[in-house]
Amino acid sequence: MKYSPLQQQRYRYKPKLPKILQEEIHSIVPVFGEKTESETDQQELKKIFPHTYGKPVVSFAQGSNQEMSRKRNIGAVLSGGQAPGGHNVISGIFDALREANPESKLFGFLGGPSGILDDKLLELTPEIIDEYRNTGGFDIIGSGRTKIETKEQYDRCAEVCRKHSIDSLVIIGGDDSNTNAALLAEYFLQHDAGISVIGVPKTIDGDLKNQYIETSFGFDTATKTYSELIGNIQRDSHSARKYWHFIKLMGRSASHICLECALQTQPNIALISEEVARKKQTLHQIVEEISQVIAARSKAGKNYGVVLVPEGLIEFIPEMGSLIGELNDLLARRSDEFAASEDTVGWVAQALAGDLKETFSSLPRDIQLQLLMDRDPHGNVQVSRIETEKLLILMVEKRLQDMKQQGEFTGSFSSQNHFFGYEGRCAFPSNFDADYCYSLGYNAFMLISAGLTGYISSVTNLASPADEWKAGGIPITMMMNLEQRHGTKKPVIKKALVELEGAPFATFAAQRETWASETSFVFPGAIQYFGPPEVCDQPTATLKLEHQQ
């Protein structure tokens, strides 16, 4: 296989570790802090997790650890969507495992959690690992979205692990995957399976976070990749001076990506879903705000600009959220009638009532059809397929035409739409993500060697140089609450939304009026891997601002 010069150089990169993990591995011991509790639903969660709830926070210190040398077989699983750095998590597990005992083995389950159920796995050798160090993607073993949540599936997992003498699983995934990891850990303890389960926090969306999980891996690289593309478009916009670019960015449940990219690039407009929800803004109010900015810039001779739109915005707009909820329910209850209809849009319009009917009927037909497309496995609309940026363009265009007739707008409006999603999920990880992911993987092995289960790997103090990072772990149950799923309350890791009182949003909010009127574009350029730390090793603006609080 032919490798690019950059890929060859990335193979040679040596990820940095927290100082404690740089010590000789047999001289690192766990230190147990106070017992923990979830923020809400404590009594219910204790009943669901009698063996793993309330465990203490763990850190590491120097000491003598005889247990470290025990021969182990570990299975690694990549779960859910890709995120830059996954290969380094696996590399970190492998290196720690072999340093502790060269006879230990690491297996990768192929294609995600289904690899366990289907008994499809690969022993990861030094030759295989070395082919993937510091590279993007999940192609070393593949990923998948199969959920392991039934007794039969738990039993099958235990059976397959015993067959291969695997005594620990590391599940690398987002909130749902780590929720499943906690349930699996609890089940294994209840049935004395002798298999521990450790999670690793992954999602480019950035919504898996708290004081111990300061950021999920992949967020740094993805936002820097998107910011480079946004900067390129802003440069083009400022050069041509004739287009408004509407850019949709990944992030269904939270607007962390949109906010971070706004802080890095300073667009004219960036919509934050959480603010829309708090203000209970209607779709027409959002369109009006955008139209007023466009009109004001046009009056100053600036018929161009950039608008950032979070992927999940449409669900945060009150009337659209209500409409989507009703459509999900309607199409589930009356699926046969819907499938038999020749005019699905007309059928839905007749089936809806009141304000929801009016909202649906006011939408462009393309958007109506997108709202009716195939549902996800939970029966919900697939928000990423809804071209929210096009919806806004069409409605802004109509509003500007009305303003022109009233003499409130005398300029021109030409638009371009973009969606940046997959471009960022498998990029070469930044130095930050390469270091962070390697540390998370190495640290995951340390949690296993401490005899822990139901924990998630935690590396903190991330706004400082890697040498000053703190390694440890927290029980996954600490991050949980109960949410309604399919008519019953189920334990899930609570998604972290953008905090409107936090420093990142406050910094953005203090500057956005200036960005709207003036052209304040910043052009971040490509991710840099070589050079001074202030260029190559910087964390996100979000992390730096959060650590200033």
- Separation between Cα atoms, residue 274 and residue 51, nearest integer Å: 36
Contact 429, 134 (CB under 8 A): yes
Two tokens, residue 26? 């047999």
- Separation between Cα atoms, residue 330 and residue 355, nearest integer Å: 15
- Separation between Cα atoms, residue 383 and residue 537, nearest integer Å: 34
CA 99 to chain centre: 31
Asked if 205 is an active-site residue, the reply is yes
- Separation between Cα atoms, residue 400 and residue 408, nearest integer Å: 8
Two tokens, residue 389? 């940026």
How much of the chain is helix, strand and coil, in % rounded to 5?
Answer: 50, 15, 35
Q: Which of 78, 60, 70 has the alpha carbon at shortest distance from 105? A: 70
Annotate 437-492 with DSSP letters as a single string: HHHHHHHHHHHHHTT--SEEEEEE-TTS-GGG-EEEEEEGGGGEEEEEETTEEEEE
Contact 267, 244 (CB under 8 A): no
Burial of 316 (0-12, 13-18, 19+ CB in 10 A): buried
Three-state secondary structure call for residue 79:
strand
CA 58 to chain centre: 24
Specify the DSSP element, H or E, that contains 262. helix 256-265
Q: What angle do CA 331, 337, 341 make, to 5 degrees?
A: 105
What is the DSSP secondary structure assignment for residue 369, as one 8-state letter?
A: H
Which position among 167, 175, 176, 205 bears the catalytic label? 205
Active-site residue set: 205
